[in-house]
């Protein structure tokens, strides 16, 4: 079951534009944030959580910049250039997350072997296929 939980940004720096909205992030009952799906402990990205959040905030800023560009009627090619930059940033983030998943979650499953390994490999393969389609 997936639900959403509102997330608000920390206070902005002086002079920074306020966000003015709340983002909804999925929260799943099957996979709480601190424990892996098979109960192995933190997710592979947990050690880099602060760096990932900083990176995602930077990407969020790029997207907000796109909104401002459209609002200000900026030339289409300039907007498309920024769309490309945001897309590349998200793809790069996804690849680093995938690498951490392989190094942590799949590696743990490899130690267990059997059905757990098969499930993790199938899950990673499906994630890679989704990334390739995007």
pLDDT digits (tens, 9 = 90+) for 37-86: 444 457 777 778 899 999 999 999 999 999 999 999 999 999 999 999 99
Instruction: Say if residues 22 and 6 touch (Cβ distance below 8 Å).
Output: yes
Mean pLDDT of the chain: 76
pTM over 0.85: no
Cβ-proximal residues to 6 (8 Å cutoff; 6+ apart), any chain: 22, 23, 24
Q: Greatest CA separation found in the chain? A: 56
18-38 CB burial, b ≥16 within 10 A, e <16: eeeeeeeeeeeeeeeeeebee
Closest residue by Cα to residue 102 from 118, 129, 124? 124
Please check the confidence at residue 127 and state whether its pLDDT lies above 70: yes
Rg of the chain over Cα atoms, rounded to whole angstroms, equals 18
Instruction: List Cα–Cα distances, 35 to 28, 45, 56, 99, 131, in angstroms.
Output: 12, 12, 22, 19, 24
H or E stretch covering 27: strand 23-28
Q: Tally Cβ neighbours within 10 Å of residue 132.
A: 7
């Amino acid at each position: 079951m997936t639900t959403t939980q509102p997330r608000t940004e920390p206070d902005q720096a002086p002079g920074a534009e306020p966000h003015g909205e709340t983002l909804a992030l999925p929260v799943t009952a099957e996979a709480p944030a601190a424990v892996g799906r098979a109960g192995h402990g933190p997710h592979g990205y947990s050690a880099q959580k602060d760096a990932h959040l900083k990176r995602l905030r930077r990407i969020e800023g790029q997207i907000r910049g796109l909104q401002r560009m459209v609002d200000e009627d900026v030339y289409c090619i300039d907007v498309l250039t920024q769309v490309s930059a945001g897309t590349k940033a998200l793809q790069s983030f996804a690849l680093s997350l995938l690498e951490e998943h392989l190094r942590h979650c799949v590696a743990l499953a490899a130690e267990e072997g059997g059905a757990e390994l098969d499930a993790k490999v199938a899950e990673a393969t499906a994630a890679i296929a989704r990334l390739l389609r995007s």
